Amino acid sequence: MGGATDDAPQLAEHILADSMAAAGLTDFAVAAVLGSGLGAFADRLKNPLIVPFGELEGMAQSTVPGHSGRFVMGELDGVRVLVQQGRVHLYEGHSVHVVTRAVRAMGVLGCKSLLLTNAAGGLKREWPVPTLMRITDHLNLQGVAPLRPSEVGRGAPYSSELGHILDQTAKETGVPLERGVYAGLMGPSYETAAEIRMLDQMGAQAVGMSTVAEALTGAGVGMGVAAISLISNPAAGISAGPLNHEEVQEAAAAHAEHFARLLEMGLPRLATA
């Protein structure tokens, strides 16, 4: 797996952080990255400040449907929250440093807690679709690692403290929240049925094309990290028909209320952990 050996990526994240601060995206203790079809949650923020990615120096543009490509700063229960609507992916041709640049910039700006979300395929036949799964660990099968030689990985990057907060919030809000292991693959093609059987043998409960590099980076720069997958479709070999991105977006819309209820109460709690 590749890693950085020069200062250029580090310079880029500071340029982005300075650009975010100049646009008013600062003084937040918690941030959330919203995956495919999940961006509507940002509409719940009070007093929103909206900044498109294109207005920020060093921020790459997402080309994937369901990723709005903007930051929204606002308040939840009196807590300042930064929401990133959409992300860029390795399969769009970006390096791992570009994919993780926004997370590093959040760390530069003093963010303490990071919640990552994604839409994923499900490997558990008994789980209803759609459903939410808190990521307890992951399999990095993307072939790259984002940490620099000076940064020490911690094993699983997901904070047990933040995970407990999400579990408790799910109980209080009545939102079903499963737990499991997320397999991150390169994409952009969906997995074959044989690959899904392999991932099942490896212990994965969900599979997608993002999140792992961001999680490793967030933990590597000192943030507490939690992550949630929206299981939007059964994986290949489990689903009745071929997979498609429209199905992912439809599932996200169908489960939007549960997702929003969990985050609306949970994000302010993550900020104070």
Among the listed residues 42, 59, 60, 89, the single catalytic one is 89
Among the listed residues 75, 92, 151, 264, the single catalytic one is 92
Residue 189 contacts residue 245 (beta carbons within 8 Å): no
DSSP state of 92: G
210 given a catalytic annotation = yes
Residue 124 contacts residue 246 (beta carbons within 8 Å): no
Among the listed residues 113, 210, 229, 232, the single catalytic one is 210
Among the listed residues 95, 245, 250, 254, the single catalytic one is 245
The amino acid at 121: G
40 given a catalytic annotation = no
67 given a catalytic annotation = yes
Among the listed residues 91, 94, 95, 273, the single catalytic one is 91
244 given a catalytic annotation = no
The amino acid at 26: T
Among the listed residues 4, 13, 29, 36, the single catalytic one is 36
Among the listed residues 13, 17, 60, 67, the single catalytic one is 67
The amino acid at 100: T
257 given a catalytic annotation = no
Among the listed residues 59, 60, 209, 265, the single catalytic one is 209
92 given a catalytic annotation = yes
> Each residue of 126-145: b (16+ CB within 10 Å) or e?
ebebbbbbbbbbbbbbbebb
Among the listed residues 62, 113, 229, 233, the single catalytic one is 233
Among the listed residues 17, 59, 119, 226, the single catalytic one is 119
Give dist(CA 175, CA 247) in Å, integer. 22
Distance of CA 37 to the CA centre of its chain: 12
Residue 125 contacts residue 237 (beta carbons within 8 Å): no
Instruction: Look at phi and psi of residue 252 and say left if phi exceeds 0, alpha if psi is from -120 to 50, else beta.
Output: alpha
Tokens 């949650």 locate to 41
Closest to 115 in 3D by CA, of 70, 152, 186, 163: 163
| Residues catalogued as catalytic | 36, 67, 89, 91-92, 119, 209-210, 233, 245
